A and B are shown apart, each in its own frame.
Chain A
Amino acid sequence: MEQKNNQPVKYDLNFAREIYSLENGSYIKQCMQCGMCAISCATREIMDYSPRRLFNLIKLGKKDEVLEANTMWQCTSCCTCKARCPRGIPIIDVMHDLKKYAIQNGYSDDPRAAFYKAFWAEVASRGKVFEGGVTARYYLIRGLDELKKAFAMKDVGLNMLRHKRMPLLPPKKVKGLGNLKKIIRKAQELERKEAGR
């Protein structure tokens, strides 16, 4: 949002409306800013904004602040806030929507965005998740520097290998993969249609 000198701050209501139109987006309007999510959150201390503050920024139309924030990526879907929210907002599901929206709109610098894409690519290609495949795809997206960081963790990997915790070969693909793909394609088509209603 561009702010000209001596002009009052404008609310970008288009952004707020777009977020409200996401699958769980309209719940954000229910937020009464009580802060229960903030005190419940397992990762609040490392979030740029607590869920409460993020929802307020959405209402104010602060697109860049919202989409560049790490808040949704720090969310681990542990469900504590969702179970406690006095307004019944399914906060983790709103966070899923924001992750998806951020990726679709090119805000995917956070390493978790790469992890999510890698995970989905794995599901889409075999119908099941193979951890080795997710990891390989993740490092392909993130590049060599990230792989160097991984070497600091090599003990973890070796320990897992030693205790048969890291199969090197993927599981068999789902037999009905063709049909599963058709189901997924149809679901995406229906979801887009619903969003446009």
Chain B
Amino acid sequence: MKYSFYPGCSMEATAQANLKSIEAVAGALDLHLEEIPDWNCCGATVASGVVGDFTQQVMTARNLAIAEPKGYDVVVGCSSCYLSLAVTNKRFKEDEHFKALANEALAAGGLKYDGSLRVRQFLEVVINDAGFDRVKEKVKRPLTGLKVAGYVGCQTVRAIPYEFDDPEYPVQMDKLMEALGATAVDFPMKARCCGSSNAIAATDIVVDSALKIFQSAAGGGAQVIVTPCPMCQLNLDAYQQRVNQLHGTNFNIPVLFFTQLMAVAFDLPEDARALNYCIVSPYEALAAYGVGK
């Protein structure tokens, strides 16, 4: 199947491991991703705090307008980008007044969006379009015995509640990890906030949020945390040492994109696993699954 793909800014910078592993896993599952040409920033949840929701959503809609002629579902890898694109798309479908105004603005750049597309997350596409059975078929190195904490984060399941999983206690990514042969641990904080974009301007929020998440994951005995979200991954990975320094803890839990762990289980090449981007080393936890430096 073919899809239009919206990578988002972080995949070109802090989350290159996400892009590499998504592309490789998609290829292995025969999901054909075509990048939306000349896509622009979705504004995340920050732009609307400066210019308002309408302007932010119109900016986001430029991407949908460019993708619309192909008619493919739009697949998004980043949770925050998904929130922007999915909520904007929903407004085009449900709010005629908004749609007319937004198209008036898009027309200033020679574009128009009819609201005909479907916006989806890569996680959901893997689960619903490829399916657990196809995933199981592709597993060459079952992750038997590996205890995984599935950190779904906030926006993945709450951008559009109940769209594909429970917004309070999601289970779909855990099932995907089980399809790889891993064991999903009990993880009460799996949908809790990671502190989001506060890393620079209010670091304490990220450190305090991360502490609670690590305690919860470690409480379940997790050896690895996986997430679909670039912001969650960065906060938990880059600030883990800082959490340990400030709280006297000794966490050493690698934080991977779920697609990186899929690449390990599928036995895809090192470039697809992209483990060298991990700040907390994953090599010890994954040594039993054919992963070496």
Q: Which of B44, B104, B198, B242 contacts A186 (CB 8 A)?
A: B104
Min distance, Cβ B125 to any Cβ of chain A, angstroms? 21
Instruction: Name the interface residues of B1-56: CB closer than 8 Å to any CB of A.
Output: 9-10, 12-14, 16, 38-41, 43-55
Q: Which of A77, A100, A176, A191 contacts B38 (CB 8 A)?
A: A176
Q: Which residues of A contact B62 (CB under 8 A)?
A: 176, 180, 183
Q: Which of B49, B105, B155, B168 contacts A190 (CB 8 A)?
A: B105
**Most A CB atoms within 10 A — which of B202, B209, B234?**
B202
Interface size on B, residues (CB 8 A): 65
Of B131-139, B143-151, B274-282, the one touching chain A: B274-282
Q: Which residues of B contact A160 (CB under 8 A)?
A: 14, 238, 279
Residue interface mask A148-187, B partner, CB < 8 A = 1: 0000010110011011111100010011100110111111
B285 within 8 A of A: no
Residue interface mask B219-242, A partner, CB < 8 A = 1: 000000000000000100011011
Instruction: Name the interface residues of A51-81: CB closer than 8 Å to any CB of B.
Output: 72-74, 76-80
Contact status B193-A80, CB under 8 Å: yes
Q: Which residues of A contact B203 (CB under 8 A)?
A: 153
Min distance, Cβ B228 to any Cβ of chain A, angstroms? 15
How many A-B contacts are there with CB distance less than 8 Å? Answer: 203
Of B106-114, B173-181, B263-271, the one touching chain A: B106-114
Contact status A186-B41, CB under 8 Å: no
Q: Which residues of A contact B14 (CB under 8 A)?
A: 131, 160, 165-166
Q: Which B-chain residue is minimally distant from A160 (CB atoms)? A: B238
A191 to B98, CA, bound (A): 10
Interface size on A, residues (CB 8 A): 69
Contact status B101-A194, CB under 8 Å: yes
Min distance, Cβ B13 to any Cβ of chain A, angstroms? 5
Contact status B205-A120, CB under 8 Å: no
Q: Which residues of A contact B123 (CB under 8 A)?
A: none
Contact status B54-A159, CB under 8 Å: no
Min distance, Cβ B272 to any Cβ of chain A, angstroms? 16
Q: Which residues of B contact A182 (CB under 8 A)?
A: 108-109
Contact status B54-A164, CB under 8 Å: no
Min distance, Cβ B143 to any Cβ of chain A, angstroms? 23
Q: Which residues of A contact B41 (CB under 8 A)?
A: 123, 127-129
Min distance, Cβ B110 to any Cβ of chain A, angstroms? 6
A171 to B13, CA, bound (A): 8
Q: Pick 6 A–B contacts, CB within 8 A, sort by A.
A: A77-B83, A79-B158, A93-B53, A159-B279, A182-B108, A184-B58
Shortest 5 CB-CB contacts between residues of A and residues of B: A179-B109, A99-B49, A79-B158, A78-B154, A77-B45
